[in-house]
Structure 1
Amino acid sequence: MLRKTRRHWAERAAQREFGKDSRGSTAVEFAIVAPVFLMVMFSIFEVGWFFFANSVVDATVGDAARRIKTGQVQKSFGDMDDKYDDMFADICNVLDTFGDCDDRLTIEVDTFDSFTTLAADNTPATCADAPPDDLAAIPFNPGDELQIVRVRICYLYRTLNPAIGLNLAEPGTNKRRLISTAIFRNEPYELNNRDDD
């Protein structure tokens, strides 16, 4: 009986010592907090990078619209395919920061007779993941002086870490469509280049 009592008290003393021992508590706390902290950090980085990409797409559509509005595209050398290729290359030079844009970028430029006609057009933007027939039908018509023009860019943004933290991808993919649109009336750019008599 005495042996059982001594063993019982020895076990109790060991449990008290174990309870007082704080070695390893930091590792346990880190193991609990680290996954949540890392998920929050990756989510913040993902959201920041996403908004940066979105603002770059907006800036590129603004630049493309300016070039069309002032007649730079219309007056450049080559046929419409050459003009489209030049604009595509210029935009890709900027968007390549987010990955190769050859299979992720579409540029749609179309003209309208009036703003009423434009408002009635509710066709969605065609992105690079559309069927080939839809991609072939994307218009590139920068128009003439004083015509109403809509420039739409669709860029397929690949999310950085879809499995960790905040997932910005569309369901079933690891991509998000970034669509930016500019609507304007072309300037009378030919008038600005005529010589006075």
Structure 2
Amino acid sequence: MRGDNRLHRLFRRPAAGLQRWGTDVRGATAIEFAIIAVPFFLFIFGIIGTSLHFFTVSTLEQAVESASRKIRTGQAQTDGVTLAEFKEMITDQGTGLIKSGHLNLHIQKSSDWTDLVPVACLDGRGRLTPPTGSPSDSVQDYASGAGEVILVTACYEWDLAQPLAFLGFGNMANGSSLIRTATTFRTEPYQ
């Protein structure tokens, strides 16, 4: 009989321990947080990443528009601004968000709006196409006279998309995101 009593106590203890463990609520908050932590932080980083992307797009658009104003008024042509200096104007307007090494510019001129054909920013391998001319070329070579229709296209490789790959911004071969902006205008009679 005595052996049966011990055996009964042996099996009863684990059942009691499981019952106590099942009703114990200590640590429930930590477990609940662990369950929602990953989706929560992905959501927060997604909001921050999307905001940074749109802020960079807006900054680039404003910088290209502001720098292109100097071509529109003829100031860039009469001052002998080079393509490198024009690019620097855009990066200066970009308040540190726009990196010069990641920006390619294309400047086209025509006498009529319909003759302008936008330049593709990416080649067939998902990399930026080469910019217009060489950095030492003058803006005057690409926007020479008054009354011309000018198309300025800026192609920017936003490399912050690489660590934010879960957002799906990366549309380039290296995982970066292409940000493209353009402005079209007719130069004023400055001559």
- The aligned residue for residue 195 of structure 1 is none
Unpaired runs of 5+ residues, structure 2, are none
**Residues 114-142 of structure 1 deviation map (CA, whole Å, 9 limit, x = unaligned):** 11212xx2541368x446xx446478512
Q: TM-score, normalised by structure 1?
A: 0.80
Is the Cα contact below 8 Å between 2:63 and 2:91 reproduced in 1?
no
The correspondence of residues 24-63 of structure 1 with structure 2, limited to 5 A, is 24-63=27-66
CA distance 1:20–1:43, shift in 2 (3 Å): same
Counterpart position of 1:148? 149
CA distance in 2, matches of 1:75, 1:17: 86
Find the residue that maps to 1:143 and give its secondary structure.
coil
Q: Across the two proteins, how many residue pairs are aligned to each other?
A: 180
Select the residue among 122, 125, 130 that pairs with 2:121: 125
Name the aligned partner's letter for residue 186 of structure 1. T
- Structure 1's unaligned 5+ residue stretches are 191-197
- Counterpart of 1:6 (choices 9, 18, 24) is 9
Q: TM-score, normalised by structure 2?
A: 0.82
Q: Distance in 1 between matches of 2:112 and 2:10?
A: 95
- Letter of the 2:155 partner, please give it: C
C-alpha distance in structure 2 between counterparts of 1:136 and 1:54, whole Å: 21
Compared CA separation, residues 164 and 151, structure 1 to 2 (3 A): closer
CA contact (8 A) 2:153 2:180 kept: yes
RMSD: 2.4
Q: CA deviation at 1:163?
A: 5.3
User: Residues 95 and 27 of structure 1: is their aligned pair in 2 closer, same or farther, counting only changes over 3 Å?
Assistant: same
Percent identical residues: 24
1:98 aligns with 2:97: yes
